[in-house]
Chain A
Amino acid sequence: EAQVTQNPRYLITVTGKKLTVTCSQNMNHEYMSWYRQDPGLGLRQIYYSMNVEVTDKGDVPEGYKVSRKEKRNFPLILESPSPNQTSLYFCASSLFRDRDYEQYFGPGTRLTVT
């Protein structure tokens, strides 16, 4: 089954404790990205990656890191989480060529930072 997977689905952590949210896709997609969703703000892009070793900042990159060492994986790293990073996070992927730009979303990760 073609899908984007994220782990963990739910995470409660404390301020300053480094964490990683994994994202993997099995569709051989070139493009991957991370978003956060907050009430009244919609989804805001954190980082995106056009291909392996190529990443770019989105709208709200501060406090986040990403890496794209393999085509299928795109982990999101919070080196020192703070309460304002409490949010719902989505990973997404897209073929991004041949006029196929649809983003396929993972199920989301609910992160709470206390």
Chain B
Amino acid sequence: AQTVTQSQPEMSVQEAETVTLSCTYDTSESNYYLFWYKQPPSRQMILVIRQEAYKQQNATENRFSVNFQKAAKSFSLKISDSQLGDTAMYFCAFMMLDMRFGAGTRLTVKP
């Protein structure tokens, strides 16, 4: 079964700085999808960024970008110019037919 590991339970960053959240996964499959979701205190799950495994190019969405290393089974999220509103839980997720989430990283952006 596929597993997703987020090794950083908590992280903090100063406003306007850059932070990278780590995610590794384990699978023997070659076609799958990867996601980062954000969960603010409201508990709503919000998609941050997605990556298709067949695409070599790393996905980018404004201040958010990923470093997708398929051979290493690594999918890290970089947040540039961190803002106070980025404070949230961040979940890495792996999907084929079913979906697996990591345990999450609690990110705090400090003013």
Chain A positions within 8 Å of B, measured between CB atoms, are 33, 35, 40-45, 48, 50, 56, 58-59, 88, 90, 92, 99, 101-103, 105, 107-108
A-B contact count (CB 8 A): 52
CB neighbours of B11 from chain A (8 A)? none
Cβ contact within 8 Å between A33 and B99: yes
CB neighbours of B52 from chain A (8 A)? 99
Count of chain B residues near A, Cβ 8 A: 22
Chain B positions within 8 Å of A, measured between CB atoms, are 1, 4, 6, 33, 35, 43-45, 47, 50, 52, 91, 93, 95, 97-104
Cβ-neighbour of A59 out of B43, B45, B47, B98 (below 8 A): B98
Cβ contact within 8 Å between A48 and B99: yes
Cβ contact within 8 Å between A101 and B50: yes
A24 to B95, CA, bound (A): 22
Cβ contact within 8 Å between B33 and A101: yes
Cβ contact within 8 Å between A42 and B99: no
A92 to B93, CA, bound (A): 14
CB neighbours of B35 from chain A (8 A)? 102-103
